[in-house]
Structures are given as structure tokens and as C-alpha cells.
Structure 1
Amino acid sequence: MVFYFTAFLVILLDQLSKWWVRDHIAISEVIPVRGIIYELQHYENSGMAFSLFQGYARLFGVVAVIFICIILYYRSKGDIQGPISNAGAGFLVGGAAGNMIDRFWHGTVTDFIVFSEGGGIMNIADLALNAGIILYIIGMILNYFSSQQKKRNFP
């Protein structure tokens, strides 16, 4: 249940935030923000991370579909276990699906979060993908140590 809730929540927050940005901030407009986020800037990316391979948004949408299918396959086999790994997988699927929706629906991905001057620009889906990788790795490490502990307790 953690997996589905996380994936759904990421997709919902991602799509609502992108809708708000497209509706309220003009492309290339910059809004300074205090705190951890340096500024909001509306950018439409037709490529992938770091604006690489511009013009291939729909191709990367297909890659996202394949990525999501792979995660769903390994979940169905029972290879993704534990709440942390499932939350990580949920963040990964939610992030991939959020950007995939943009790629197929708009032909671009809406980015708007800038954390530092001269830094990259992201969106909620990108943040979810990063969180998903971290949580999934933590979950794998914890599962490994848990299985090692069980081996030591059973002769």
C-alpha cells in the first residue's frame, strides 16, 4: 500500500504544481524565493536531465513507460520488499510517471524549482526520482543486513 500511495501522491503533487506554474508564471519568468529554494523559473524542457537531447521528449516518455513496467514487474515478483524499498519504488514510479505525462501530453516537461544561483532547474517529479533512489538504496542495505542477521540466528 505504501508503494501505491507514494506513487499516487507524487503524481498528484507534481501535476498540480506544474499546472499552477504553467497557469501563473510566464515561460522564462523568474520569481525570487527566500529559503532553501533560490527561485522559481518557468522552463519547458523537451529533452532530459540537464536539458540534454532537446526535442526527444516523447522518446523519453517511452523510456519512462519501460522503466515503470520494470519496477512493477520486480514488485510483482516480490523482489521489492519492506516499507522503505516500497516507498522508494513509489517515488521512482511517481516521478517517472509525472514527467512521462508531461512528455506525452505537452511534448515538454515543465521545470520550475531552482535551488542555487546558476544551478539546475527541477520539478516535483525530479525531486521524487532523487528521493526514490536514496530510499531504495537505503531499503536494499537494510534488507541485506536483516537477511544477514536472520542467517546468523538460524544454524
Structure 2
Amino acid sequence: MPFYIIAILVAAADQLSKMWIRVHLDVGETMMLGSVELSRFENSGMAGSLLQGYGRLFGVIAVLFVLGVLYYRKRSEEKGVLFDCALGFLAGGAIGNGIDRLLFGQVTDFIVRSGGILNVADHAIEAGVVLIILSLIVQALRNRKALRQ
């Protein structure tokens, strides 16, 4: 159940935040929200603005990625709340950016940080990767402990 809740919440938060940005900032405009710098950027490529102009293709790839996550989740021997949460963040992030790519041919990015300008979906995908790594570490430690007994 955490998988679906997280995926839906991430996709909704991503889309709502992008809508807010589109209403309040023009492309290239910047504002501060507390200590966070927001700057609207439209990215028709992939991460790091690579391969500009292929937004809709990346939208199709996002759909295939989500289908892959659903398949992997069902077939994987890896189980547990942490793993389920990780996949929820990955799927929710892919859905959020996939919606933009399929509807607009580009993704709205706006959260400025040292590595570039990202959005809520991008941060969710990063969180999902970190949680997958943590889940694998926890599973490896459990297996190691079971072998000792």
C-alpha cells in the first residue's frame, strides 16, 4: 500500500507545484521562497538538459519505466516497506515528469540547487534511488545475519 500512496502523492505534489510555478513565474524569472531560490526553466530534454527537443519521446520512456517498475515490484523477491516506498518515489517521479513531457513536450523545472534546476519529481526520483540503495544494504545485512545463525 505505501507504494501507491507515495506514487500518487509525489505525482500530485509535482503537478501542483509546477502549476503554481507556471502561474507565478515566467520562463527565466527567479524568486526566493524563504531560503530556496526558484527559477522557472522549461526542459525539453532529459536530465542535465541533454538531448533537447525529445520531450515526448522521454514521455513514452517514462510510461515504459513506470510499467517496468510495476512489473518489477510484482515479480521481485525483494519485499518490504522500505523497498515499496523506494519504488513509489521512483514511479511517482516518473509519472510527474511523464505527464509534462506527454502534454507539453517539456518539463517545468524550478528548484535551484548546486547541481542545476530540478522539480519535485526529480527530487522524488533521487529519494527513490537512495531508498533502493538503503533497502539493498538492509537486505544484505539481514542475509549476512541469517547466514551466521
Unaligned runs of 5+ in 1: none
Determine what percentage of the aligned residue pairs are the same residue: 49
Q: 1:93-108 maps to which residues of 2 (within 5 A)?
A: 93-108=91-106
Answer whether contact 1:82 1:143 (CA < 8 A) is retained.
no
Q: Distance in 2 between matches of 1:41 and 1:65?
A: 27
Answer whether contact 1:86 1:136 (CA < 8 A) is retained.
no
Does the C-alpha gap of structure 1 residues 63 and 99 become closer, same or farther in structure 2, counting only changes over 3 Å?
same
RMSD (Å) for aligned C-alpha atoms: 1.3
Q: Distance in 1 between matches of 2:72 and 2:48?
A: 29
Q: Distance in 1 between matches of 2:146 and 2:58?
A: 41
Q: CA deviation at 1:33?
A: 4.1
**Structure 2 equivalent of residue 66 of structure 1:** 64
Q: How many residues align?
A: 149
Q: CA deviation at 1:14?
A: 0.2
Secondary structure at the counterpart of residue 4 of structure 1: helix
What CA deviation, in whole Å up to 9, does each residue of 1:21-76 have, x standing for no partner?
Answer: 111111111113443x2x11111110011111110001111111111111111111
Unaligned runs of 5+ in 2: none
Answer whether contact 1:21 1:112 (CA < 8 A) is retained.
yes
Q: Distance in 2 between matches of 1:3 and 1:137?
A: 17
